[in-house]
């Protein structure tokens, strides 16, 4: 994509009244309240969204159910459904500058990241699942000489997709694309703090030819909108990315009708650096893994586990490079680290830093808000590095979800394995070494759903992503993801034509 100057959309957003989409129509809420949207770098207005109600969620689910039962989408030929999905990706790329700028203004990350990473990932999800759909089929066999059997993959019905405020466009696409590919209807609840790119995504879906009612969007907070979707008896599945605490609540709420769930929850990824590693490469990988999206990434390498022999060298280089990062509004071309997405997110990060210091951690750099008039407004946290040499520091296990890694040292591989796995999470981790045996051993021993060797925060196209332990379950971004959104039916056919089967005599 061309690295061109982004359009200035902020003034056009300032008075924008964003709406829900229900039954193919943009509409307001049954309630009168609205949620203001703020640019996290300036606190300027980006318009407002309806503060959704239980009734709004019910209307959206009813619309999705009606569209599903009508069958225009689920009965559409596979090739035509695939073409619609592919068109969504094409429209996203055509509107790249507009949507990338919108998500940067709304979420805060640098425009380079929105344009160069998030838009291609989102568009790629639609293209990928459009292709997977063409090869998604059941199996057939003759289990006995006198019988045949085959399986059918059938859509679940209504899927609620609930997305967080860190990468809403990508995560929305990675849920909606497979859910729609297999014929479901959906209700999307985007993050109330930064929903604009999700609205633009739904516009792309409508332009691509999704029938009315198949895709619905309801704005609002987790309480009551998210709660209602999770407990609604007519929602067949919830696909959720967010905190482990909220994921547990969704599990409890979804038990009423034994909902299918796909949960991608918290993480505390270790980056383990062995003495034979290329230290400069590991430092660059850590800068990327820690500070991308201001650390608001569930797979961020927020635990830097360093062999004692290279600890000082790594820390000196990493801290120096961290101090050189430019903090500023994402819309500015030379920004490396933007603001936190909300004031609540900023306050949480600051509280985590303060607690870590109280428990014995050392602040090696950062640890405060950046100084200067340009930071007087907005939700800023300096890129920070903590050192934790004493046991029991909460920050070594807690998901901070901000630009705050913790460096720790280890003496040997067994200790590195113990430290890497010393967390309730199991989403991702990375190992930095030039020794094949070390790499393979660590890849097997780290209890996480995704492990990189000499890299961090990169997706292998088509390979499944998801967590172990309290990082959730289910797999996204792979061909097998289609199975998550389907029921499988087995059909058995007797070919004998006999009224009396030999086994009947056993009764």
Q: Is the pLDDT of residue 405 over 60?
A: yes
Three-class SS state of 67: helix
Integer Cα distance of 74 and 67 in angstroms: 9
* pLDDT tens-digit readout, 255-281: 999 999 999 999 999 999 999 999 999
**Average pLDDT score, the chain:** 96
* pLDDT tens-digit readout, 407-465: 999 999 999 999 999 999 999 999 999 999 999 999 999 999 999 999 999 999 899 99
- Per-residue pLDDT band for 12 (boundaries 50, 70, 90) equals low
The average pLDDT across 90-114 equals: 97
Three-class SS state of 141: strand
Closest of 302, 313, 271, 284 to residue 385, by C-alpha: 302
pLDDT value of residue 15:
63
Integer Cα distance of 431 and 297 in angstroms: 18
The average pLDDT across 176-185 equals: 98
- Per-residue pLDDT band for 83 (boundaries 50, 70, 90) equals very high
DSSP 42: T
Q: Is the pLDDT of residue 497 over 70?
A: yes
- Using only C-alpha atoms, the chain has a radius of gyration, in whole angstroms, of 24
Alpha helices in 382-433 (DSSP H): 413-420
Integer Cα distance of 33 and 49 in angstroms: 9
Of all helices (H) and strands (E), which one includes residue 47?
A: strand 45-50
Whole-number percent of the chain with pLDDT over 70: 97
Closest of 176, 150, 151, 146 to residue 161, by C-alpha: 176
**Which pair of tokens denotes residue 188?**
């999307």
Alpha helices in 341-450 (DSSP H): 343-358, 413-420, 436-445
The average pLDDT across 87-108 equals: 97
The average pLDDT across 138-152 equals: 95
Integer Cα distance of 103 and 109 in angstroms: 8
* pLDDT tens-digit readout, 340-378: 999 999 999 999 999 999 999 999 999 999 999 999 999
Q: Which of 174, 193, 231, 264 is catalytic?
A: 264
Whole-number percent of the chain with pLDDT over 90: 95
List CB contacts of 162: < 8 A, sequence separation 6 or more: 189, 226, 229, 230, 238, 239, 240, 241, 242, 250
pLDDT value of residue 388:
97
Integer Cα distance of 304 and 450 in angstroms: 17
**Which pair of tokens denotes residue 335?**
């920004």
**Which pair of tokens denotes residue 165?**
């405020």
Integer Cα distance of 101 and 246 in angstroms: 29
Q: Is the pLDDT of residue 8 over 90?
A: no
15 versus 221: which is more confidently predicted?
A: 221
- Per-residue pLDDT band for 3 (boundaries 50, 70, 90) equals very low
Q: Is the pLDDT of residue 87 over 60?
A: yes
* pLDDT tens-digit readout, 290-313: 999 999 999 999 999 999 999 999
Integer Cα distance of 85 and 96 in angstroms: 17
- Classify burial at 452, counting beta carbons within 10 Å of its beta carbon; exposed 0-12, middle 13-18, buried 19 or more: buried
Integer Cα distance of 473 and 467 in angstroms: 6
- Classify burial at 354, counting beta carbons within 10 Å of its beta carbon; exposed 0-12, middle 13-18, buried 19 or more: exposed
Helices (H), strands (E): how many in the chain? 16, 22
Q: Is the pLDDT of residue 2 over 50?
A: no
Of all helices (H) and strands (E), which one includes residue 127?
A: helix 119-134
**Which pair of tokens denotes residue 18?**
């964003």
Q: Is 264 a catalytic residue?
A: yes
Residues in the chain: 507
Integer Cα distance of 376 and 439 in angstroms: 46
pLDDT value of residue 389:
87
pLDDT value of residue 212:
97
Integer Cα distance of 282 and 473 in angstroms: 29
What is the helix, strand, coil percentage profile of the chain, to 5? 40, 20, 40
Closest of 410, 411, 472 to residue 270, by C-alpha: 410
pLDDT value of residue 110:
97
- Classify burial at 492, counting beta carbons within 10 Å of its beta carbon; exposed 0-12, middle 13-18, buried 19 or more: exposed
pLDDT value of residue 490:
98
Q: Is the pLDDT of residue 6 over 90?
A: no
Of all helices (H) and strands (E), which one includes residue 305?
A: strand 303-307
Task: For each of the domains in the chain, give its residue range(s) and CATH number, in order of start.
Answer: 10-265+471-489 (3.40.605.10), 270-453 (3.40.309.10)
Integer Cα distance of 38 and 344 in angstroms: 13
List CB contacts of 205: < 8 A, sequence separation 6 or more: 88, 176, 215
Integer Cα distance of 305 and 299 in angstroms: 15
Alpha helices in 135-264 (DSSP H): 168-181, 196-208, 227-231, 244-254
């Amino acid at each position: 994509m061309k690295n061109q100057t982004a359009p200035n959309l902020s003034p056009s957003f300032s008075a924008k009244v964003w709406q829900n989409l229900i039954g193919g129509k943009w509409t307001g809420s049954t309630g009168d309240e609205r949620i203001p949207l703020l640019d996290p770098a300036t606190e300027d207005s980006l318009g407002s969204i309806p503060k959704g109600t239980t009734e709004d969620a019910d209307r959206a689910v009813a619309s999705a159910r009606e569209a599903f039962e009508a069958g225009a989408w689920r009965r559409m030929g596979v090739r035509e459904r695939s073409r619609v999905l592919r068109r969504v990706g094409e429209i996203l790329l055509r509107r790249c500058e507009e949507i990338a700028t919108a998500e940067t203004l709304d979420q805060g990350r640098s425009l380079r990241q929105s344009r160069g990473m998030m838009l291609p990932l989102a568009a790629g999800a639609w293209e990928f699942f459009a292709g997977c759909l063409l090869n998604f089929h059941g199996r057939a066999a003759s289990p006995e000489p006198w019988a045949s059997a085959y399986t059918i993959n059938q859509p679940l019905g209504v899927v609620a997709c609930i997305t967080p405020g860190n990468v809403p466009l990508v995560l929305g696409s990675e849920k909606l694309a497979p859910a729609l590919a297999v014929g479901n209807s959906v209700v999307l609840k985007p993050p109330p703090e930064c929903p604009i790119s999700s609205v633009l995504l739904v516009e792309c879906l409508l332009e691509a030819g999704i029938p009315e009612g198949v895709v619905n969007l309801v704005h609002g907070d987790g309480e009551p909108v998210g709660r209602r979707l999770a407990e609604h008896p007519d929602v067949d599945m919830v696909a959720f990315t967010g905190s482990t605490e909220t994921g547990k609540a969704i599990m409890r709420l979804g038990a009423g009708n034994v909902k299918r769930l796909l949960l991608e929850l918290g993480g505390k990824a270790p980056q383990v650096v062995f003495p034979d590693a290329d230290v400069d490469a590991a430092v660059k990988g850590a800068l990327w893994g820690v500070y991308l999206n201001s650390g608001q990434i569930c797979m961020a390498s927020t635990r830097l586990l360093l062999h004692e022999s290279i600890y000082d060298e790594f820390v000196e280089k990493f801290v120096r490079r961290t101090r050189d990062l430019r903090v500023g509004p994402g819309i500015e071309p030379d920004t490396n680290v933007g603001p936190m997405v909300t004031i609540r997110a900023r306050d949480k990060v600051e509280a985590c830093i303060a607690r870590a210091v109280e428990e014995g951690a050392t602040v090696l750099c950062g640890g405060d808000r950046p100084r200067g008039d340009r930071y007087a407004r907005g939700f800023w946290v300096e890129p920070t590095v903590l050192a934790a040499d004493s046991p029991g520091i909460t920050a070594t296990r807690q998901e901070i979800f901000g630009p705050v890694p913790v460096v720790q040292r280890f003496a040997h591989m067994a200790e590195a394995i113990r430290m890497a796995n010393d967390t309730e999470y199991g989403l991702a981790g990375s190992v930095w070494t030039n020794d094949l045996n070390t790499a393979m051993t660590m890849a097997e021993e780290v209890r996480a759903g995704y492990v990189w060797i000499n890299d961090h925060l990169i997706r292998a196209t088509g390979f499944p992503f998801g967590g172990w332990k309290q990082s959730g379950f289910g797999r996204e971004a792979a061909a097998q993801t289609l199975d998550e959104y389907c029921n499988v039916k087995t059909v058995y056919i007797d070919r004998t034509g006999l009224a009396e089967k030999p086994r009947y005599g056993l009764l």
